[in-house]
Chains A and B, each alone.
Chain A
């Protein structure tokens, strides 16, 4: 049994109202006592109000709840700190907890402990599933109750239509002599198309969900001395910006996490932009390209006084090949002729640049523009985050993508003129893949639908 005490942030890392830091293990209370000052007694299963101190520095006013083993989520002593929800403050408190002896929890570790201590909460099953890395269909199915109700409902509606379609197909197979209305293959194509589009819409929310939850991964690229480190510094100093650099709490390759207003930017370390400002040269184009696999956005800086070089063009085409969004920042515009901007635009025309911005980083000009541009690119204005369904689990996304692929396969079979029972294989796979998200058995659903819809029998 594990003996160390683990800690992690239990809520999404964003500027929400409240964040929770969870600590589990026999030292939980010890650690709390070292950093938490309160007028009340900390009793099991109670919440107390007090202040978090890092030595003498008052960090935040918080609520601490204490669950004594075995009556806790993990079955161990558990303390939870409810702090104010800023990214910065949450990370600072976690850092403090780690400094006082806790170890950062690895993914799924709380659930794992819960299971090992016979405290397995079914809502945590998915974490455990990831933990054991089971690829089997059943094992990776997810319990309905664990899910966000909205996603379940949406998937259910999608499945309902597909199951109805399947019932039509299946009834024609299992009851070939009955005079039900024969299904028209054209209608099937239309329906499959519609469903594929609906699923696509949900998939598209995945990235938005991730941007909100985890932030936008950004690489700042450009030739030496174009102003990469200046931009980083300018962003960091931007009004209300919060810069964190907590080892181990974010990915190693993230140099800085900067929070501007509602946007969290994870600026990727392209071999220490601060020190050398010579990224492409130093680590080479090849290595930069690896970083490109991870990022959502490249801010490519040009010097308005210099011509675009071959290296720039090479990088830009690599970026384009990866389909990453690009903002071209034309820096040092204060020193250049205004018409230069149009020259740049012309030269960059053949690349898929999302936006070009007129900047003078040193004079702090264009930073607002950059921020607004990022916001426009990544957060679709039409999307109301309170209302619309947003998916955040990569497993859900993968299943949705898989089901679209099956629907496309089904369409292909229709085009190839294959019989209906072959088409049905793929529609069924698409439906059962959707069902994996909410844990339904497609065969039973089809049979039920057949009897509900069709008049059959002796």
Chain B
């Protein structure tokens, strides 16, 4: 019987998918007052973590804090549900300190679902969207598998790895989304029908093993930090978080025997037999990739991470694989502590449809289709944090589109989010894209500790930061400024007491009055060990002390980066109209003309980052601009 089509509702924003991108997108647009509907194939997989049960890490932790400063949810949800917390890179400079937590995967889902359910303006539905309805290159609605139509002004596609998802384990493969959920098989065709180009990427995940079958005594214990720093700036000083009891992770290694089994069964790996066509990421190679590519390495690290407090499932980080299950069983059992392992879920590879992110604008709207936004893994990124970062930006921009406002775009000097989106949209990616601190030119400015100072103002102006939180932020900012001023103005006299203390800290004596700020710049001195010399010091929150110390200690470098940023902004501020037909600019190389016409960059700076656009082409553009200004 022909199924009945019917209209169920009318919305401003429809979000397809409720993973980490979809949740942030839906919450942002709903919080901006837009009537929003979020669709997920199975409501029990909302904000699921189908891979590692952790949030944050190097550069990803930065993203989470930036999302938080803009009024997003990920940091808060991570604070509610973490079971271990660690500040990575503490032995290195402040720019690369990175917060990472192990999350209770199930609790993370439950808490996020609760937040979504209680969000004003937001409706959450379990339904598979099979069709995007457009009219005159403008989206007007979506249709569900069972025939319901939802009318909408904008759509955010956040389908993660679900689009035509295909799971591959050795010789076996089947259509599936991650974690055994149905894939979205029909939406791909609908996207193709409206002119969206699709490509195929691949990723993978290791096995989950019951802790009951592990011999933890053969592994090294990995503890969390003694002093916990919350993710959300809103939770600064929150004792429930700071005093939370933590669980342990464990470290073990592969060995020669493991590698032997892998090498002997390489012909059964779908990657080596050619069964997998999708492009996988270099930074998360499967264990078979590692063994083949780094065959001189005698062992590889494996981190054993709990999936939650109320489960015995452990995630084996470092051992993702697409070998047949029987090979996997042999392979895992060679590892110290895993001799009796039982694979609760085997490792698998998954292939999925995604888009070419260079077809997007920096607002994350698809070029040429009004109101169609994309966010998350479907854009060719990987990682929960990268997805969430795009989600909040897409949510904001869908809302602004409806209001007829300029898109909200962060540039490379403002945020890792800016680097992420500019990399995806301008440079494009040929493999699932992972954020890294080395991708940022202005790392010293884009620290995780100052994400609130960088972005809260913007979040407030957007309407995503409450007035109450904004006032709290202003107060913190003032405190930091005052403390910096005080440290610069407070002089220490070169008396015996002072110099004895300095010597005891392996620091050279002072001969004349020296400001505390001046002393703080010495690498062997810090805010804490200078305390005996700082008589007037008042008790301040940790975050204020930290910020003041960093600002003073790294003043010179920060200044250097600010100069670089100024240089960078010059080209960013040279705007290119979308009206320019680059075919008309004869001086450009053929490749540059095509790329520029396809991408229509907003500025000369953006143009300069497009691959295939050479410095010479940029000179031509600059001349073209200066000539047009004369006219």
Q: Which residues of B contact A422 (CB under 8 A)?
A: 93, 444, 554, 557
Q: In chain B between 202 and 221, which residues have their CB closer than 8 angstroms to a CB of chain A?
A: 204-206
Would A142 and B320 count as touching, CB distance under 8 A?
no
Would A174 and B59 count as touching, CB distance under 8 A?
yes
A140 within 8 A of B: yes
Which of A125, A136, A450 has the most chain B CB atoms inside 10 A of its CB?
A136
Look across to chain A and name the residue whose beta carbon is closest to the beta carbon of B203. Answer: A458
The distance in angstroms between the C-alpha atoms of A373 and B172, with both chains bound, is 81
Q: In chain A between 431 and 447, which residues have their CB closer than 8 angstroms to a CB of chain B?
A: 439, 441, 443-444, 446-447
Q: Interface residues, chain B, CB within 8 Å of chain A?
A: 51-52, 58-59, 88-89, 91-93, 95-96, 98, 204-206, 281-285, 290, 293-294, 297, 300-301, 303, 317-318, 320, 427, 436-441, 443-444, 523-524, 554, 557, 560-561, 567, 570-571, 586-587, 589, 604-605, 608-609, 614-620, 622-623, 626
The distance in angstroms between the C-alpha atoms of A421 and B550, with both chains bound, is 14
Q: Which residues of B contact A351 (CB under 8 A)?
A: none
Would B619 and A176 count as touching, CB distance under 8 A?
no
Q: Which residues of A contact B93 (CB under 8 A)?
A: 418-422
Q: In chain A between 407 and 434, which residues have their CB closer than 8 angstroms to a CB of chain B?
A: 416-422, 425
The distance in angstroms between the C-alpha atoms of A458 and B49, with both chains bound, is 14
Given A136-B571, A457-B290; A425-B615 close (CB under 8 Å): no
Would B438 and A455 count as touching, CB distance under 8 A?
no
The distance in angstroms between the C-alpha atoms of A186 and B230, with both chains bound, is 37
Look across to chain B and name the residue whose beta carbon is closest to the beta carbon of A131. Answer: B623
A173 within 8 A of B: yes
Which of B92, B300, B609 has the most chain A CB atoms inside 10 A of its CB?
B92
Q: Interface residues, chain A, CB within 8 Å of chain B?
A: 115, 118-120, 122, 125-126, 128-129, 132, 134, 136-144, 146, 166, 170, 172-179, 416-422, 425, 439, 441, 443-444, 446-447, 450-451, 455-458
Q: Which residues of A contact B92 (CB under 8 A)?
A: 172-173, 176, 419-421
Dominant secondary structure at the A interface: helix
Q: Which residues of A contact B605 (CB under 8 A)?
A: 138
The distance in angstroms between the C-alpha atoms of A103 and B504, with both chains bound, is 75
The distance in angstroms between the C-alpha atoms of A66 and B98, with both chains bound, is 66
Q: List 29 A-B contacts (CB under 8 A).
A: A120-B620, A128-B620, A128-B623, A132-B619, A137-B567, A138-B618, A139-B619, A141-B618, A142-B615, A143-B615, A143-B616, A144-B614, A146-B616, A170-B437, A173-B58, A173-B92, A173-B437, A175-B58, A176-B89, A418-B93, A419-B91, A421-B443, A443-B441, A450-B436, A450-B438, A455-B297, A458-B204, A458-B206, A458-B317
Would A458 and B88 count as touching, CB distance under 8 A?
no
Would B297 and A129 count as touching, CB distance under 8 A?
no
Q: Which residues of A contact B616 (CB under 8 A)?
A: 122, 125-126, 142-143, 146
Would A136 and B614 count as touching, CB distance under 8 A?
no
Would B294 and A455 count as touching, CB distance under 8 A?
yes
Would A132 and B622 count as touching, CB distance under 8 A?
yes
4 A-B pairs closest in CB distance: A120-B587, A118-B586, A125-B616, A141-B615
Q: Which residues of B contact A166 (CB under 8 A)?
A: 438
Would A174 and B58 count as touching, CB distance under 8 A?
yes
Given A173-B92, A176-B58; A143-B438 close (CB under 8 Å): no
The distance in angstroms between the C-alpha atoms of A146 and B614, with both chains bound, is 11
Would B205 and A458 count as touching, CB distance under 8 A?
yes
The distance in angstroms between the C-alpha atoms of A120 and B614, with both chains bound, is 14
Would B614 and A439 count as touching, CB distance under 8 A?
yes
Q: Which residues of A contact B205 (CB under 8 A)?
A: 458
The distance in angstroms between the C-alpha atoms of A175 and B285, with both chains bound, is 14
Q: Contact partner of A458 among B58, B318, B438, B622, CB < 8 A?
A: B318
Would B620 and A115 count as touching, CB distance under 8 A?
yes
Would B557 and A425 count as touching, CB distance under 8 A?
yes
Would B297 and A125 count as touching, CB distance under 8 A?
no
Q: Which residues of A contact B204 (CB under 8 A)?
A: 458
Q: Which residues of B contact A455 (CB under 8 A)?
A: 285, 290, 293-294, 297, 300
Q: Contact partner of A176 among B88, B294, B443, B608, CB < 8 A?
A: B88
Would B58 and A136 count as touching, CB distance under 8 A?
no
Given contacts A138-B615, A143-B616, 6 further A-B contacts (CB under 8 A): A136-B570, A138-B604, A139-B619, A178-B301, A457-B285, A458-B206
Q: Contact partner of B587 among A115, A137, A173, A420, CB < 8 A?
A: A115
Which of A115, A140, A416, A456 has the most chain B CB atoms inside 10 A of its CB?
A456
The distance in angstroms between the C-alpha atoms of A120 and B616, with both chains bound, is 10
The distance in angstroms between the C-alpha atoms of A302 and B430, with both chains bound, is 72
Look across to chain B and name the residue whose beta carbon is closest to the beta carbon of A450. Answer: B438
Would B285 and A128 count as touching, CB distance under 8 A?
no
Q: Which residues of B contact A439 (CB under 8 A)?
A: 614-615
Would A173 and B615 count as touching, CB distance under 8 A?
no
Q: Contact partner of B283 among A118, A416, A456, CB < 8 A?
A: A456
The distance in angstroms between the C-alpha atoms of A201 and B619, with both chains bound, is 30
Which of A125, A139, A166, A443 has the most chain B CB atoms inside 10 A of its CB?
A139
Distance (Å) between the CB of B148 and the closest chain A CB?
38
Which of A174, A175, A455 has the most chain B CB atoms inside 10 A of its CB?
A174
Q: Which residues of A contact B567 (CB under 8 A)?
A: 136-137
Q: Which residues of A contact B282 (CB under 8 A)?
A: 451
Look across to chain A and name the residue whose beta carbon is closest to the beta carbon of B614. Answer: A143
Which of A119, A140, A144, A173 has the most chain B CB atoms inside 10 A of its CB?
A173
Distance (Å) between the CB of B430 and the closest chain A CB?
11
Would B614 and A122 count as touching, CB distance under 8 A?
yes
Would B587 and A118 count as touching, CB distance under 8 A?
yes
